[in-house]
Every structure is written in C-alpha cells, then in structure tokens.
Structure 1
Amino acid sequence: MIIPKYFEDNHTFGVNDEPMRAYYIPTSTAQNPDWKCRQETDRFFLLNGDWSFRYFDSIYDCQEAFYEEGYDTRHFDTLPVPSNWQDHGYDIHQYTNTRYPFPFDPPYVPHENPCGAYVRKFTYKKPEGTATYHLNFEGVDSCYYVWLNGTFIGYHQVSHSTGEFDITDALREGENTLAVLVLKWCDGSYLEDQDKFRNSGIFRDVYVLARPENYVRDFFIKMQLKDNYTAADVTIPLTFAKESIPVSYKLTTACGCTVAEGVSDGNSIAFSASDLTLWNAEHPYLYTLTLSTDNETIRQRIGFREINIKESIVYLNGQKIRFRGTNRHDSDPYVGSAVTLDHIRKDMSLMKQHNFNAIRTSHYPNAPEFYELCDEYGFYVIDESDIEIHGVVNLYNLNIWKEGKKNPFPPFLSDNEDWTESVVDRVQKNVMRDKNRTSVVIWSMGNEAGYGCTFEDALAWTKSYDPTRLTHYEGSMHYPRNPKRGKTDFSNIDLRSRMYAAIPEMHAYLDNNPDKPFIQCEFIHAMGNGPGDIEDYYQLEEQYDTFVGGFVWEWCDHGIYMGTTNDGRKKFYYGGDSGEYPHDGNFCMDGLVYPDRRPSTGLKEYKNVHRPVRVHLEDAASGTYILQNNLDFTNLKEELYLTYEILQNGMAVASGEIRDTELLDVAPRSKKTVQLPIKPLENGACSVIISSHQLHEKPFTPAGFKLGFDQIMLNENCTDTLTALLDAEKASADSCSCAANGTASAITYTENDRVITINGADFVYVYNKLTGMFDSMIYKNHSFLKRPMEMNIWRAPTDNDRVVKRLWYEAGYDKMTQRAYNTTIEAQEDGSLKLHTTSSMAPIFRQRFLEIDAEWIITPDGIVRSSMEIERDAIMRGIYSEYFEDVTENDNPFQANEAFLPRLGIRLFLSKRMNQAEYFGYGPHESYIDKRRASYLGKFTSRVCDLHEDYMRPQENGSHYHCEYVSVADDSRKLTVYNEQPISFNLSEYTEEELTTKGHNYELEKSGYTVFCIDYRQSGIGSGSCGPQLAKEYRLDDTHYTFSFHLKPEIL
C-alpha cells in the first residue's frame, strides 16, 4: 500500500491540515472592494477543470506512486473537477436510505474500497506581496491524501468540510503538479450514513489562497443588540498567523455610508453601531465589514440580528417567528452532489417564490457560498454537522422497532467515548467555518445518530463557543437507557425537535406547558403525490406560538439523469436501477420538486397554505372581511397589494385591485376588519378569489408576482350549468310523461340470461345482468363505452399509501370481482325504464366485501341516472387491525392502520379520441379532500393528457375533488357526468393497473382508452410515506355509502 491507513483510524481526522477557521476570501488592499464573485479576486486561484484521473476498484490495486514528479499520466482518463466519479462511468450509483453499503465493523472498511487517483498540472504566479499559500478543498467524499510536486502535503476526512493545507514550502513559481488520492470509504463513513446517493470524489471547489507572511487568520463577529433593537455593541476577537498586528476596520451600509471605523486594539476589535436596519428573512439587509492590514483586506457582508427563546417561544429581534422551511440536499440529476452556484440560486428562487423562509442543510454543511446566498436572499438556516449514524438501526436481531418507544438507535457509536473526539471534530468544523454567517440561526449536531456522551460533549462545546445561536438535535429523543451510565444531559439543547410527529402527539406536548419550543425538523413527507396534510399543520401553528414551524422532507427528488426514451421522455434513475445492493428503491424520490426542478403540485400546495395574507369572510352582504397578516416583520401596506376576481359559475365576471394603504395597514402577525368592494351575485354559484401580490421587485420575484390566494364562497348556489342539466332532465321527464299517457313506453327492451338490451329512439344500451353494469352504450350511432363499465375501489397506491397498501393487498382490493344476483325491470310513468339490481364485490379467496343495491333509470332521451346504496362488510373493515396491536397510533410509520377504501366509484373506458375535458370542481391542479389548497372551485377545460401529474414512480394522480359536473368529448360526441352531491373524477390515458405495476414514469404505456373514473370519493393523501397515518376524517372508512350520478351522452 502506498499510503498509511489513516482511513481506518477513528482518531485521525486530518494530517498537516490547518485548524478550522471562519470562511472568507482575502484580497490585496488594491482589489476593487465591490467584487461579485471570488474568482474575480486577485489572491484566489481556482484549480477546477479537467484533471487526469484513474479509477481503482480497491485501494490495494493502487500500487504506483502516481504522485511523484515525472510520473507519466498519459494513460490516465480525464475527469472534471468538481464532479462525482459515478456520473462519469466509474463505479456504480448507489442509493441507500439507512443501510450502510458495507459491513458494520467500525472503524474498518472493506478491502475492496474503490479509490480515484487525481493529478492536476498548473502554472502558478505568486501574487505580489504574498508569502504563504494555502490549498483548499471544500468537499471531497470520503477522505483524501494530497501531494504537491511529489511532497506529501496531508490527509483530511469529513466529506462536507473544508480541508486547508499550508503548501508554502512545496509550491513553485511556474509549473506545479498536484496529486490527490480519494477513497470511497473511511472510518468517517460510519458517521456519514445520510439518506442520499452515495457519491464519491472531489465534488466541490479546489483553490489556492495567497496570503502575506502575517495575516488575520480567524475572527468571530459577535454582536449584542440594544436600545430596543436600534443599536448594537460589536466585538470581534482576532487570531493571527503570527504575532498580532494592527487591523483597520470599517462598517458601511448597503449604499456605502460609513457606520463605524477604527483600528483594532491588540487581538480584538470593538465598536458600537446605531440607527441599525436589522436583518430578517423578509428584509435581509446586509452591511459590509472590511478588515484590513497593510497588504490584505477581508470583506464580510453581515446582518444585525438576535435570536433567543422566551417562555418557549422563538424570537428574532424581539419578534415571534415561524420557520417555514425545507430540508435540502445537494442533488442535481446531471452532476450529483457537485452542484453549482447557479443550481443553488435556482433552488432558492423556487423557495422564495413558494413562500419558504428557512432551510435545513440536511444532513451536512453546504458549500460556504451557499450561506452567503442565504444571507443575501433571506433564509433562516439550520446548519447541520456532517453526522448520521442511521445504519445501526439495521443491525441484526436487535428488534429495535418493537422497542422503538425506548431507543431505536443502538448507541454503539453515539454513546461510545472512543468516538467522542470524532463527533466533536465534525461539529467544530461546521461551527468554526460558518460562525460569521448571519443566516445561520441554529446549530444542528447532525441527524438520526442516536444520543449519548459524544453528542453531550459536542453540544457543551457548541454552547460554550457560541451561546448566541440556538442548538438543535432531534436525535436526543433516542437517548441510551444504560443504568450504569448515569443521568443523560439535555441541558444544552434549546429546541424540542421531532420528525413526523402526528398532530395528536403535538397537542399532548403543546398543551402541557412545554419547557422548550417545538419544531418539526422533518415533516409533511413530500414523496410522490403529496403531502396532503400541510393545512392541518398550519392550523396547529396558528393555535400555538410554541410550535415554531418545521421543515418539509424534502426539497427535491434525487434522480440520476440517464438520457431519454425513444419517444423523448426523460429517464431518471433511483435506487436499484444500477443493480446496486443494498438500495432503497424510490425512497429518494421524495421532494417538492422533480429532479429537473419542475414544481410538483405538493410545492404549489405548500405555497398557498403559507400565503402571506389570509382573507376571512365576516359578512358577504356588507362586504366585510378580515385581513390576516401572516408575515413576521412586514406591514402589508409596505410590500403587498390585493386583487380580486368574482366568479359566477366558475368564470370571472368582475375584477379589481386593492392598493389602498390605509386599508392594507395591517401590522405583522395581526388581523384587521375591512370593507372590500365585493358583493355576492344572486344567480348561480358565486365566489371571490382574493390574491396577494408583491408590490416591489425582489431578487427572485418581479413586481406583481402572485404570492397566494383565498377563495371565499359568497352563496351556496349550485352552478347554472348543473341547474340547467337537472332542469332539462326534469322537463324532458315531464314531457315524456305526458306523451306516454295512454301509450306504450318510449323505451323497449329484450333480455336473455346474460344481458338486457334497452332500445330507445336514439340509443341502444346493453346492461349486464351478471355484473350489474352496462356493457355497451350506443347513442345516435356513436359508441360511448369501449369496454364494459365496472365498479372500482382501487387506486394505484401513492407513496403515501406505503404502509396501508399492504393491508389493501392483503384484503384483495386490487383483485375485486363483481357479481349481480337479481335484476328487476320496471317501466315508469314518464317513459323511463328502471333497473334494480342487487350485487356484491368480493376479492378472490376472500368473503363478500361490498353489498350494492343499485337503481338505474334510463330516460327516453338516453340519460342514465344511477343511485347506489352500498354496505361495507364490518369484518373486512377491521380484520387487519391486529397487525399492529402492540403499537400506538402515534408511533410512526408502523401504526394501527385499518384497510380503509382507496376510492369508491365506477370506471368507464371511452374512446381515446374523447380527450377534451370540462369540469366544475377544484382545479386546475389535481385535488383531493386533504390536498386542494393550490386549487380553487371553478370551471376548467383541459386535454386529458394534461390532467396527468407525471410522478417519477407512477401512482394515483390527477384526480379532481368536489365536482358538480364533468364532461369529456371529441369532435362528434360528449359524455357529461353530473350530480347534486359533488363527486370526484379522474380522466387518464393510463389504467390504474398500469400505474400500479410500472416502476418508472418513462415505462408507462398508454391504454388506448380514455379511462374515466367517477368517484363517490377517494381517501385523502396524507404524508404517510414516512409520517403519521392518514387522519380519520380523510379516510373512506364508513360502513354505508349513498352514491349517485347522472350520465348524459350527446352528439355534437
């Protein structure tokens, strides 16, 4: 072996690397102080680009001293830096959530430990006035050895931390050769078991910093706000490379006005600043601080803010705040974790456009420039250390989930003194680097790693070093119960943090004088179609100031771009698609945006739930409304204006703007009763949509940008369209009744053992006596059914059905059969024909499940009215509860979860040419009983193909809730479904069977039909993929249902 085995020594985290310091970019004093990016500065030398590269399957295969001067690398490949080598054909992609990709044998890793040899030749000219030089690596996974011009420089691990080396003695003027050996795994990999693709290589920037002989090495900007948050005392301890030297400082406003200036006193700077503009996420105002010696300047942009806790409530600058946050991984479908600044800005742009104000860096520190952008654009950051030890939950025969209420994280590492130094080192690397970032308001010790002495020491150090920020560690709830150990110390944790806590559990904590603010560091799991419970958690925030918000899991789907199909569909791979073991399938596809950053309907749902203004109706007749300002620091009149649209029967008939600053004078987090020029209309269904818009341009949003909306129903009328349909039906029935007096029925029929053939003046319908459904509907010589009609309770399981779907399969919901027992035929006085059928549904090898008493009335003009009384078998309803008899309702994700129905309705198969839809219901986005806040009640038209929401793993999608009517048509015919009691519907090119069985969206094959599901209702969506069970009020779990609808065929 050509290297020492530092990679299996859990007490060696670095060799010859520099002590951690705050991040900054030094420049010469002659540098233009208004530089925009660090590449523009004169003492920063970037080494990114094409490097010579050779991959080895094992570190033991790397036998040649490739780092020596003169070594011939012409047989090497070329690899861009930064990058992940898996994205360039080396090794394989591997996604795993909790399972280690190697045996659990700390600190040892497999002999077959892949590695990459990197070589970069570069020409360097030492800048004038410099004498020392430092080589920086901002991110390398997992550990690396460095040589310059054949000289060993050092070793570093902790993948997401900066490694800095003094290369003064080895660096030459002119040509240099830098060599780096990167190993896929090291002892530190046991502490980096994060839920992500396990990428390897140099994935962040590499650069050289040129410094004078003596310089400011480190500094810590500390501030104490005073005078009712209008002024501050600032102290800045300084550390020098050698002896202390004078340091000039200057603090200026955003427009360049000087606030304070002077010269340091020994090893510190102290000054006061007054008339301050404070920093917060809504108004991220930054000052510029420069620190200058004779031949070097350091520029830092800083904000003035103070975060603290009073009576278990979090305050920023004396104001209560809420975190509307998301967990964000570095993940790009094209470059993996080697994300660019443009990529980060894109993420932040989408976050701001969708009303986020906070980011948790799950589960490792981001690149330093990320935090500068958070300072600039206004995000509260939970800065998380590079620690996760989740794989211990998978160790054999520990039975941890059964004992989960005690400690699901075996403390083999977290409560092991031999690993304390390693855990503390990782926390220190994070805190020391990012301590001057204004946006960082909470230090997080890591994620899902258990608790014990290692974290107690890390928390104690953090609180001692930086008492100005809050501390967080959700893993503290998984503390060891070792009676020999003594009392566990939680005193240095400021927040009560949970993941995916169910609402009843939160009530129990928040109702009992909580001793700490409650935060959900992960919740409303955004996997696939979801989340569906965002509004419920918002209402909890409204109820309790001690619930300070949470962070959605997670921001993006983690997919690997693998080209396109022959018909141009993008292919994104997830776990298992590369043949790796172990893997966790599509559990990485759990974001609010798709891999390519297209917003999902879940993101749109989040945006409108967390709109800055909510409007409540007090009295429609007088136009009295209540404006609720949900912003923490902004008066509505300063930033927003309102628009309104009055809808009649789902269509806009009047509109206006509200820019009156007196009316909009609503203080942060307060309400005001106002008069608005909005009055209800008498006819038809009437509602008003009141939207909030941005008054001024901001970095990611133009003036006029829509921030959210409320829809307020101004009457309880149904639409004129529904009224007309019902009235026309009644009028036709009355007419036919008169015409039929004393004459034969307008409808005739024939029957045999299997079917009833029904003949009207313009139609021929075939009713199947064996199923109780129509086999065929021909109206005016146009066929409307391409396959027989059928009852339907199945939906392609969503990712949030991950737990309950096992019960669905066990119950046989996906294998239902239908049979009819008896059908009677009765002619009506109005000329209609009434069929009455008793039938049932039963899964193969299970008992009868649904008893159906159905009445079908066929009118002389071809309209079909259906009314069903449906009884659900009580035994089937609860038969599977004992699966979870030892687990309480609040335990996640394994809870007592009865096999409630996925949906209840009928399914039609229409001609694929019938592809134009019109409906009145919740649209334009897919909508469900618990996921509809991004939509509104209106009249919409769409192509059937555009109703499909293209989730990476196919599943139920595209349904529309609370619809009065829906029609689907082609150029020659139209079928309309309507009902007095609203229904749900789904129109798709794909069958539920296709969506159920295919693993990727690009594998879907169109059915050749327009598949039309007419539903009494569907169960809600929830966030049960990694969260609480679906709330009872959203389940389709009754024992009796009354389901009715009307079918009206037309020729156009």
Structure 2
Amino acid sequence: MLKPRPTPTRELVSLDGLWRFALEGGPGPLDTALEAAVPASYNDLFTDPAVRDHVGWVWYQRQVRVPRGWAGERIVLRLDAATHHGRVYVGDVLVAEHTGGYTPFEADITEHVRAGQEFRLTVAVGNELTGVTIPPGTITVSADGRRRQTYLHDFYNYAGLARSVWLCSRPPVHIQDITLVTGLDGTVRYTVETSEPTPVRVRVLDAAGTQVAVGEGATGTVRIEDVTLWRPGAPYLYELVAEIDGDSYPQPFGVRTVEVRGTEFLINGEPFYFTGFGRHEDTPVRGKGHDDAYLVHDFQLMDWTGANSFRTSHYPYAEEVMDFADRHGIVVIDETAAVGLNLAVASGLFGAPPRPTFSPETYGEATRDAHAQAIRELVARDKNHPSVVMWCLANEPASNEEGAREYFEPLVELTRELDPTRPVTYSAVMFATHDNDRIADLFDVVCVNRYYGWYIATGDLATAEAYLERDLRGWAERFGKPVMMSEYGADTQPGLHSVWDTPWTEEYQQAYLEMHHRVFDRIEAFVGEHVWNFADFQTAHGIHRVDGNKKGVFTRDRRPKAAAHALRTRWKGLAGRKPANPR
C-alpha cells in the first residue's frame, strides 16, 4: 500500500486535530461534549477513569469538506492506524473495516461524497484483545458487569487513533503499488501495479534530482551507473518515479543488500554489528500517539548514545519513523504485533494453572491466520525501506512448547515468499533455551531476550555472568548462526544510588550492562546488542510495576540515567563493528 504523498496528480488533506469523542454512539451525530486529539491514544487525555479503563468501542467524529477541485477524481480515506479495530462511516454508511492496530487501511468513498461538499466522518475504534487477535488477550466480566481486559504483554494497551487520518485524491486510473529490489551493482528490479492495465514508465532520480536511469513496462530492471549505496550512518536515497498517463508516484529507496553468511550479518557485503535499543511508541499524555517532536528528539538521543539501530518492539511503528530512519541511516528490525503468545508467562506471573500455548482451545489456526495477515500488511507497507534489514515475526513466543513448530513454520515460509531479500528472526523468551527451543533452525538470526542479574540471580552479577555466557555459547554452538541480544536490562529508579550492587540503583543498571558487554565481546558469533529499553514506558496497573517499566536508560520524559552515558562511551567507539574478541 502506497503512502499518501502530494504529487502533480494527487492531493491530500490532513484530518488531524480535535474530533468529537464518546464511549457510546453510532454513525449518527454524536451527543457529546468531549473532544479527543488525533493523533493520540485516548486513554490518558481525560480525567475520567471510565475512559481510561474502557473495554470496547469508542467513537470519533468530525465534519470533512471535500476540496472543490476534486471533481472527477477518486476520493479516498486513509487511516494510518486504528488500535486495534476500526470501522469507518461516511454519513450512515460503513465504508471500511479493519483489524490490526498498527498498519494502515483505506476506503474509496468516491460514490458517497461530492467535491466541494461536506460529509460526516465517524470512526469507531475497538480495543478488545482476544485469543484470535494479534496481540492476544482475554476479556472477563466481573459480578457487577464491568468488562476487564487482560493481556500478556508488558506495556499499556493504549487505544484510539494514534496516527494520522487523511483525505486523498487519485486519478481514476492510478498507480496502486511499487516494489523495489536493489543490487550492489546499481541494478533496481521494479514492479508497478496499476488500477487498470496501462503502459508504465519509470525514471530514477538521484538525491540532486538528476535523472540517472529510465525504464518501460510494469516490471523490469534498470541500472544506476556509479551508484551510491545506502549505508548505516551514511544514507543515500534515490527516487523511482513511476508514471502512467494521468498519474505519477515518487517512491524513495536506497540501494543496499542484506545477507546472513555463516555467523555474520552483512549489509552491502560488510559485517554489521547492531548497537541500540528495543523501544516503544510511548510518551506522556499522548500514549502511543505519533509526535514529530518526540521523533526528532528520540533519534537525536539515539545518535548521542552511538546507537546504530533499533527494533520496533513490539509492533510496526508509524511510517514517519521508518521514513526518518531511511533518511538518517538508522538500521531497523521490523516487528509484528505478535507479543504475548506464551501462556507460561501467565502461569509465572499470576500462578495460573499451566496451559498449552498452541492448541485449538488457546492459540490455534484462527490466531495463526491473524498473525499471517499481520505479516502480509507489515511487509506490504515497509518492503521498500532500506533501513529495514530484518523481519521479526514475534516477541517471546512459547518456542519451547509442543506445537510451536507447527504454528511458526508456515509463517516463516509466508514471510520468505513475500520478501526473499531480508533475513527473518524472532526474539526468544527466557524459558526457551538452546536445548529445548523447537523453531530457531527455521530462522536466519538467533535473537534472545535474557535477564540474568535481574529476574534470575538478582543482584549477583558474578553468577549472572556465568549463566549468560553459558547460555549464549549454547545457542551459537547448536545453531551455527548469528546471535544477538534483542533484550537485556534492569529496572532503575532515576536518582537512586548506592555503593553496593543494589538493584534499582543507577549504579546497578550500569554494572549490569557492563557485565553483559564483557560476555558479548567473548562470543565470536555475536552480532549485536539491543538494550531494553530506550526509555521508561507505561504498563498495565499492578504490583509488578510502579508507574510503568523503568528499564529505560532514559526516563519517560527523556532524561538520561547514568547507563546512557556508559552506553555512549561503549557505542561511540564501535561504529557498527564488532569488538575484538579478547580470547
């Protein structure tokens, strides 16, 4: 799905701003005094706990005027996301419905509106998570009739219209999609899909706007002479302009390759070592609402630490984030919203009786179908981003349990079919070891989440170091693939200090990270380190968290803890290269 862009043949109107908002309603005029910001999660905007804790549908509404110059054009509504379910009404007519809270969807409303006239736009957004959604969850009803949502992911279930809404025009015959695959010799293989069969032309422009290649046909290959590659930290973007009679669309791209060879991760044929973070789209008041100011500042802070990459934990991020990463040379591991596919977590946290994660009664074919659709939509949206170097299909699934292979093998095959150019991974939970994991051989890179020194051997970093090294060497020796740490971290209260190894202090977080780095540098197959987390973030209420997860090296309002300075010292000297093995 092409991102809306203003072009000589297309226009778009932002529908961001204040919308009428209600917990109860329908496509008719909303009877409410409340207004909600778009883009933003609605949960933290209001003081009424009934809004924050609401389980079910909410209603957004506003009047929209179609520009008078759009007569004869196709008129399209585009929602960048509706978390987790969306229904869109023009007047009283349902024009679109979508499940999946982090990928875009659209509706052609040409037959329902007129150029120059107004219409009533209503968007219903549902936040319910069940056993057949990605991510999954459970809804219970208390004795007094209140509905309660529980889930197994450790971040708050923010909901609403957290990304932009657009009104777009397109020519009657238009370009629908573009797919690009590049080679180090400057070759660009392209496929252009159109709404009707029609001749296609393509032009490639360099960063200065100079034409450097041309081609004809809906599919083909062009070659850029003296190509400049897109590199981590040194990005260079070209633009492929697809043209048909009456329409054109510019698709930015970078020329680069990605490959796993033995125990190395290669970008443009050169070994690459990941440094950076797992992150969250999470800020005060906005929740998961996209904010350009935070986007710029967060990338500045990552650059300040020397980070060269991040994982979109645990869902696809806003397209503005991906575009920014392309332009600034930050490498991205792009993840689906499949977090919480592990019922052993519920047993560990809540003392619930153990249940199999993968079964017809728990997460079965319907869940896998939803997961497959999430993969299709992620790849379709992000396939042309040079910053995206790997697809991550799930975070901490029960990969050690019976049924895991039957669940994941078709999903891995689907991902490779959709995009054979990028490696595929998942992030393994603590319960999954190199001895009992059932699926790691299906993937290209072994990513592990480990918390030795925090959840295990808490406060005992000497024991934790021995556990960690034995664990990582086991993965490397069994699978013979690149290994990276996709999560490691310790909750830290800013301003809490001690001369001893005391958990929650800033000194302990720094010592904890330094211990991990000593181990990483001793593992030859190791290819990267992503600290959990970039910044503190909000979680569900409960005794396990005090005002959220505090594993950030920055506070939720982006003030550095001592660990941020320590990471800066380490990463500024690495610049994408693995440290020399001291053994």
Residue 256 (structure 1) shift: 2.7
Q: Please say if 1:550 is aligned against 2:549.
A: no
Deviation string, structure 1 residues 338-390 (Cα, Å, up to 9, x no partner): 13122111100110011000010010000111101001111110100011125
Alignment match of 1:384 (pick from 335, 360, 366):
335
Matches within 5 A, 1:457-472: 457-472=410-425
Instruction: Output the amino acid matched with 1:493.
Output: F
Matches within 5 A, 1:881-1030: none
Residue 165 (structure 1) shift: 1.6
Q: Hey, what does 1:494 align to over in structure 2?
A: 444
Q: Hey, what does 2:497 align to over in structure 1?
A: none
Cα 1:409/1:204, change in 2 over 3 Å: farther
RMSD, matched Cα: 3.2
Q: Please say if 1:631 is aligned against 2:575.
A: yes
Q: Please say if 1:285 is aligned against 2:227.
A: no
Residue 258 (structure 1) shift: 2.5
Residue 488 (structure 1) shift: 5.5
8 A contact 1:27–1:297 mirrored in 2? no
Instruction: Output the amino acid matched with 1:521.
Output: S
Residue 133 (structure 1) shift: 2.2
8 A contact 1:409–1:450 mirrored in 2? no
Alignment match of 1:242 (pick from 183, 190, 196):
196
Q: Return the alpha-carbon distance in structure 1 between the equivalents of residues 62 and 341 of structure 2.
A: 36
Deviation string, structure 1 residues 995-1052 (Cα, Å, up to 9, x no partner): xxxxxxxxxxxxxxxxxxxxxxxxxxxxxxxxxxxxxxxxxxxxxxxxxxxxxxxxxx
User: What stretches of structure 1 of length at least 5 have no aligned partner?
Assistant: 1-20, 31-41, 57-61, 96-100, 102-111, 226-230, 481-486, 560-573, 613-629, 634-667, 672-1052
Deviation string, structure 1 residues 53-100 (Cα, Å, up to 9, x no partner): 1124xxxxx5xxx413xx3x45442222122222222664999xxxxx
8 A contact 1:238–1:269 mirrored in 2? no
Q: Return the alpha-carbon distance in structure 2 between the equivalents of residues 213 and 246 of structure 1.
A: 15
Deviation string, structure 1 residues 606-633 (Cα, Å, up to 9, x no partner): 1102222xxxxxxxxxxxxxxxxx3348
Cα 1:511/1:450, change in 2 over 3 Å: closer
8 A contact 2:265–2:271 mirrored in 1? yes
Q: Hey, what does 2:318 align to over in structure 1?
A: 367
Alignment match of 2:513 (pick from 534, 539, 559):
534
8 A contact 1:327–1:359 mirrored in 2? yes
Alignment match of 2:78 (pick from 133, 136, 145):
136
Alignment match of 2:108 (pick from 153, 166, 174):
166
Q: Return the alpha-carbon distance in structure 2 between the equivalents of residues 379 and 152 of structure 1.
A: 40
Q: Return the alpha-carbon distance in structure 1 between the equivalents of residues 521 and 227 of structure 2.
A: 31
Residue 513 (structure 1) shift: 7.2
Instruction: Output the amino acid matched with 1:52.
Output: R
Residue 129 (structure 1) shift: 7.7
SS for the counterpart of 2:394 is coil
Instruction: Output the amino acid matched with 1:411.
Output: F
Matches within 5 A, 1:22-421: 23-29=2-8, 43-56=11-24, 62=25, 66-68=26-28, 71=29, 73=30, 75-89=32-46, 92=49, 113-125=55-67, 127-128=69-70, 131-173=73-115, 174-187=117-130, 188=133, 191=136, 193=151, 194-225=153-184, 231-243=185-197, 245-263=198-216, 265=217, 267-389=218-340, 392-395=343-346, 410-412=357-359, 416-421=364-369
Alignment match of 1:523 (pick from 488, 503, 507):
488
8 A contact 1:354–1:603 mirrored in 2? yes
Matches within 5 A, 1:640-719: none
Residue 594 (structure 1) shift: 1.0
Between Structure 1 and Structure 2, how many residues are aligned? 527
Q: Return the alpha-carbon distance in structure 2 between the equivalents of residues 517 and 507 of structure 1.
A: 11
SS for the counterpart of 1:297 is strand
Q: Hey, what does 1:455 align to over in structure 2?
A: 408
Q: Return the alpha-carbon distance in structure 2 between the equivalents of residues 586 and 90 of structure 1.
A: 17
8 A contact 1:147–1:153 mirrored in 2? yes
Higher relative contact order, structure no. (Cα contacts within 8 Å, ≥ 6 residues apart): 2
Cα 1:395/1:314, change in 2 over 3 Å: closer
Alignment match of 2:374 (pick from 401, 406, 426):
426
The structure with more strand, counted as a fraction of residues? 1
Residue 180 (structure 1) shift: 1.5
SS for the counterpart of 2:469 is helix
Deviation string, structure 1 residues 629-659 (Cα, Å, up to 9, x no partner): x3348xxxxxxxxxxxxxxxxxxxxxxxxxx
Instruction: Output the amino acid matched with 2:190.
Output: I
8 A contact 2:176–2:193 mirrored in 1? yes
Instruction: Output the amino acid matched with 1:524.
Output: G
Q: Hey, what does 2:142 align to over in structure 1?
A: none
Residue 428 (structure 1) shift: 1.1
Q: Hey, what does 1:438 align to over in structure 2?
A: 386
Q: Return the alpha-carbon distance in structure 1 between the equivalents of residues 440 and 40 of structure 2.
A: 40
8 A contact 1:94–1:198 mirrored in 2? no
Instruction: Output the amino acid matched with 2:86.
Output: Y
Cα 1:82/1:534, change in 2 over 3 Å: same
SS for the counterpart of 1:537 is helix
Cα 1:24/1:155, change in 2 over 3 Å: closer
Residue 537 (structure 1) shift: 3.4
Instruction: Output the amino acid matched with 2:199.
Output: P
8 A contact 1:631–1:669 mirrored in 2? no
SS for the counterpart of 2:228 is coil
TM-score (norm 1): 0.47
Residue 207 (structure 1) shift: 0.6
Cα 1:669/1:527, change in 2 over 3 Å: closer
The structure with more helix, counted as a fraction of residues? 2
8 A contact 2:482–2:526 mirrored in 1? yes
SS for the counterpart of 1:234 is strand
User: What stretches of structure 2 of length at least 5 have no aligned partner?
Assistant: 138-150, 452-466, 494-505
